[in-house]
Structure 1
Amino acid sequence: MIEVSGLTKRYGEKVAVHGLSFHVSPGIVTGFLGPNGAGKSTTMRMMLDLDHPTTGRVRIDGKRYAELREPLKYVGALLDAKALHGGRSAYHHLLCLAQSNGIPASRVGEVLDVVGLTAVANKRSKNFSLGMGQRLGIAAALLGDPEILMFDEPVNGLDPEGIHWIRNLMKSLAAQGRTVFVSSHLMSEMALTADHLVVIGQGRLLADTSMAEFIRTNSRSYVRLRSPQQEQLLDVLHRAGITAVTAGHGALEVDGVGAEELGELAARHQIVLHELSPQQASLEEAFMQLTAESVEYHAHAQPTEWRT
């Protein structure tokens, strides 16, 4: 369990994190979302005592990270995969971490196998690709077999197979009852991985809710219908007190009425339907809706005269 209470971080006049409070529960994957500059990395660094909060506190199973003896046995973290000694081999990088935390040397080979780096265990990490560096960082996070895992942009540099692997790994760790906290800008991947979301903007908490509730609350859901008898369908809907909006390609859109009810209504009036489909916004659309006013850096379309 991770508990964040009233966390604030100031850098001079700038407030990077403002009164942030939330908790990360075991047994599920909790996604950590926010626009660039929202304060995600600063928050994760404060969780690990790499930065000290101006006010507020973070407790990991009731203790500050700095109070944990042999912390890799409690918390495994990937914040910056490049933060390693490039002259060391993958094996010796992990061995140094293991020895400093009372972890058996045999565990090094185990985690190298888990992340698929056994074949390059004796190669210097400075020659690793970005994806291989990510795998080594994940191996370091797993080294102490911790109950709490934190990943910042874990899919950076990974190929499709690697992305599929890390997604299943995080789900598996959560299914074992571990606490898994992951930050990512890849909304499509987060939608497939996270069960719960913590969303911040400009350092403030915007949402702390389940994935399903987040999308439902921050987006429009509706049912799309298409019929060769559109005029009759519109008349039936109108008489039932249901408002339909015409959309492209001969479709109608209805808010606030379930697909089952609409299908049964059409069937009672012998109206043929070519489409009856519930529509729900994606995580990305819901995220953009919620954070629109919290984006610090806005890009604009290239002026016409610049285009070639």
Structure 2
Amino acid sequence: MIELEGLTKRYGTKTAVDRLSFGVRPGVVTGFLGPNGAGKSTTMRMMLGLDRPTAGDVRIDGKHYDQLKDPLNHIGALLEAKSIHGGRTARNHLLCLAQSNGIPTRRVDEVLDLVGLGSVAKKRPSGFSLGMGQRLGIAAALLGDPRILMFDEPVNGLDPEGIHWIRNLMKHLASEGRTVFVSSHLMSEMALTAEHLVVIGRGRLLADTTMESFIEENSRTYVRLRAPEPERLRDVLVADGLAPTEGAEGAIEVEGAQAVRIGELAAEHRLVLHELSPQQASLEEAFMRLTAQTVEYHAHTALPGPGEPAAAPPPGQQQGWGPQQQKEGF
């Protein structure tokens, strides 16, 4: 289990992580979400002892990372897959890690086969594609057969087969009772993989809840209707205490009602329906709604024309990447 308590990191006047407290429990895949600049990478680096917190504490199974003997046997992490010595072969890269953590040599070949790199084990990673580099980074995380795993953007560069593979791998690891903590900007993948979500914005905790609850609490749920007699349908809905509104392309939208009840109402009044469909927001829509006020770097919707000045950013919005952000990458 990973436990954070009041975790804070400041760089001069910039607070990258602000009093974060949450736990990552075993047995489920926990997704870690936040806009660019939210502090996700900084948080993960502090978990692994790569950055020292300004305040607060983070523990891995009750210990600080630097207190773990042979840490790869306790926690495996993929933060930057390309952080590999270019002169070593893929196998020797993993062999070096294994020997430094007391891991049997046979495990090196096992994880290379597991991630699909057995045939290129004697090649240097400097010539690997982005996807192959990701697979090697995942192999390093799995090397010590740890009970805790952390992945930062694990599907970067993977083809559809690779994405399917890593998704199922993370679910399988969680089903074995392991702690799996994964950060990603791909909402569609997170929706298919994670069961629990931790969401941060500008370094602060915004949500720590299940996937289902997160979407339900941060989205608009309604029933979409189409009918050949829309005015009569609206009158029936209003008479039943509902508040229909105009939807896209002439559809009717009704909040606060079950599709079953609306269907029964239509049947009672002999109304023909061409569409009766419950609408639930996606994870992406719920995420955008929750984090709208914490996005630090906005792109402009349109480029200025010749001779036109660029639009001013919203009040308080930072422009570009300063030295601290470039250094940190949060």
TM-score normalised per structure 2: 0.91
| 1:192 paired residue number | 192
| 1:123 paired residue number | 123
Q: Give the superposition deviation at 1:284.
A: 1.1
Residue ranges of structure 1 left out of the alignment (5+ in a row): none
Helix, strand or coil: the match of 1:26? Answer: coil
Cα distance between partner residues in 2 of 1:54 and 1:124: 38
The one-letter code sitting in structure 2 at the alignment partner of 1:11 is Y
Matched, 1:79 2:79: yes
Q: Give the superposition deviation at 1:304.
A: 4.8
Helix, strand or coil: the match of 2:63? Answer: coil
| 1:105 paired residue number | 105
| 1:30 paired residue number | 30
Cα distance between partner residues in 1 of 2:129 and 2:174: 28
Helix, strand or coil: the match of 2:293? Answer: helix
Matched, 1:249 2:249: yes
Residue ranges of structure 2 left out of the alignment (5+ in a row): 308-330
Helix, strand or coil: the match of 1:303? Answer: coil
Cα distance between partner residues in 1 of 2:36 and 2:237: 45
Deviation string, structure 1 residues 36-93 (Cα, Å, up to 9, x no partner): 1111000000000011101100111111111111111110100011111111111111
Q: Give the superposition deviation at 1:306.
A: 4.9
Q: Give the superposition deviation at 1:302.
A: 2.8
| 2:47 paired residue number | 47
Matched, 1:93 2:93: yes
| 1:206 paired residue number | 206
Query: How many residues align structurally?
Result: 307
Matched, 1:2 2:41: no
Q: Give the superposition deviation at 1:279.
A: 0.5
- Cα–Cα, structure 1 residues 303 and 264, in superposed 2: closer, same or farther, change >3 Å? same
Q: CA RMSD in A?
A: 1.2
Identity of aligned residues (%): 72
Please give the residue correspondences for 1:210-249 in structure 2 after superposition, counting only pairs within 5 Å.
210-249=210-249
Deviation string, structure 1 residues 225-261 (Cα, Å, up to 9, x no partner): 1111222211211111111012233311000001111
| 2:319 paired residue number | none
TM-score normalised per structure 1: 0.97
| 1:292 paired residue number | 292
Cα distance between partner residues in 2 of 1:79 and 1:213: 28
Cα distance between partner residues in 2 of 1:7 and 1:248: 45
Q: Give the superposition deviation at 1:12.
A: 1.2
Cα distance between partner residues in 1 of 2:271 and 2:17: 56
Cα distance between partner residues in 2 of 1:154 and 1:255: 38
Helix, strand or coil: the match of 1:113? Answer: helix
Deviating beyond 3 angstroms after TM superposition, the runs of 4 or more aligned structure 1 residues are none
